[in-house]
Amino acid sequence: MEKFRIGVFLFLLLVVAVLTFSLTKSWRLYDSGYEVTVETPEELKEKEKDNILDPNADLDLEDGTGKVLWKQYFIYPVGLVTEAGGVGPDGITSHARNLFSVNLKSGTVKKLFLRDIYIWDFFSGEFTKKIISNNIDEPKEDTLSIEKKLIIIAANLDSNKDGVLNHKDAKRIFIYDPDRELLEDVMPEGYQFKKLILNTQKNNLALVVKKIPMNTSLELEKKKETPAATVIKQEIFSYDVNTNKGVLTGALD
């Protein structure tokens, strides 16, 4: 009986340790973010030439975090941390520092971002997921139909000037086309992503967006100023993936 109690105690202790480690790791990524490094144009050009996996990087392709999309591309996230929720089909938010795309036919490797950024979530642009609101009504289906594209929600600029990239910075939407090895920031200049609108037409990406405030709270704090009580209204941005053109609806008054 005593051995059984000790076994149960050790098991519970192990569960607490695993949960503590997971939450601490997630908190560090989610709240502390990453250090922002300012690079010269020459350094960026050098990185553009290097799209192969860095042999010195701490990458473990056996860790199970990578997945195959469209039966041809192996997408590997660097520094993956997952949490419940998210917009994508599996109901999980996938945070990462960078992404690699490996073409399983040609063998080519593409590093999506030249330097590490804060990726809040990423998922295939074509999915259907069931939403169950209660036990009585039939499950509702939400869909997104952006053909063979990877949707990435990320903060690549230190918008609040606090020295790190994290969830407090303005997030933008990137679309990656694996066939063309092309990554595009599809959002209008000066706006940040707020929400993805589902159930739109094929290859139409609709977003709730908001203008990025000109003066951040940190800048105002340094100047010892009080932020003006200006309400920045949300708008809808509709982007046609086929034509690479988008339109802002304007604020809803």
Pairing of strands 67-69, 34-35: unpaired
| Residue 94, in any domain of the structure | yes
Instruction: Return the pLDDT at 229.
Output: 58
Please return the burial class of 180, using the count of CB atoms within 10 Å of its CB with bins 0-12, 13-18 and 19+. exposed
Quickly state the pLDDT bin for 15 (edges 50, 70, 90): low
Residue with more model confidence, 229 or 171: 171
**The token pair that represents 192 in the structure block:** 């940040």
| Residue 87, in any domain of the structure | yes
**Are 172 and 151 contacting, i.e. CB atoms less than 8 angstroms apart?**
no
Number of domains in the chain: 1
| Residue 222, in any domain of the structure | no
| Residue 223, in any domain of the structure | no
Cα 107 versus chain centre, distance: 25
| Residue 65, in any domain of the structure | yes
| Residue 138, in any domain of the structure | yes
Residue range(s) defining the domain that contains residue 86? 11-188
**Are 169 and 157 contacting, i.e. CB atoms less than 8 angstroms apart?**
yes
Q: For 26-67, how does the pLDDT look when each residue is reduced to its tens digit (9 = 90+)?
A: 444 445 555 545 454 555 555 545 444 444 455 777 777 899
pLDDT at 73 over 60: yes
Provide CB contacts within 8 A for 114, sequence distance 6+: 39, 44, 47, 48
Q: What is the model's pTM?
A: 0.75
| Residue 246, in any domain of the structure | no
Q: For 203-252, how does the pLDDT look when each residue is reduced to its tens digit (9 = 90+)?
A: 999 999 999 987 655 555 555 555 555 788 899 999 999 999 999 987 77
| Residue 145, in any domain of the structure | yes
Instruction: Return the pLDDT at 189.
Output: 93
Residues comprising the chain, all counted: 253
